[in-house]
Amino acid sequence: MSEVRSEAVLPVPLPVVNPDTAEFWAATAEGRLLGRRCADCSSFIWYPRPICPFCHSQNTAWEPLSGRGVIYSCTVVRRAGGDWKDVTPYVLAYVELDEGPRMMTNIVDCDVERVAIGDTVEVIFEDTGAGSAIPRFRPVSAS
């Protein structure tokens, strides 16, 4: 299980929860990252959905994800609007999880000027206050 924090620097939007994603969002509130895996082609599926986008099988099931990965792509956002305008600069990134899928997220607890592609990261969760938490990632220290 990973840390679930109630204090966040970045806005924590409420996710859209539907029957296909309810189990995913419930797990985030417990500090667990889940993904769906296709039993027919073995692919992990991100964003969680019941039909495999690779082979179109409906033979998918929830599996725990390690919550570790590397930064695949990232950018520093220096100008933003809405709830995000007062929290710049922040890092928006794609993280490639150890299991394979890539997810868009924020990199937190970091020097935004030092975040780089290939950095190893781990998931943390930021509580929405509504029975779910937003998965974000932080650098893994090299020590």
Check which CATH number belongs to the domain holding 94 and give it.
2.40.50.840
Residue 68: give the domain boundaries.
15-139
Cα 112 to Cα 66: distance, rounded to the nearest angstrom: 24
Residue 70 lies in a domain: yes
Residue 1 lies in a domain: no
Residue 53 lies in a domain: yes
pLDDT tens digits for 71-98?
999 999 999 999 999 999 999 999 999 9
Residue 6 lies in a domain: no
Residue 118 lies in a domain: yes
pLDDT tens digits for 3-57?
787 778 899 999 999 999 999 999 999 999 999 999 999 999 998 899 999 999 9
Report which of 138, 106, 142, 141 is spatially closest to residue 3, judged by C-alpha positions: 138
Report which of 68, 61, 55 is spatially closest to residue 98, judged by C-alpha positions: 68
Longest pairwise C-alpha distance within the chain: 46
Phi then psi for residue 34, to 5 deg, are: -115, 155
Residue 3 lies in a domain: no
- DSSP code, position 86: T
Residue 9 lies in a domain: no
| C-alpha pair distances (Å), 66 with each of 73, 97, 99, 100 | 20, 8, 8, 11
Number of domains in the chain: 1
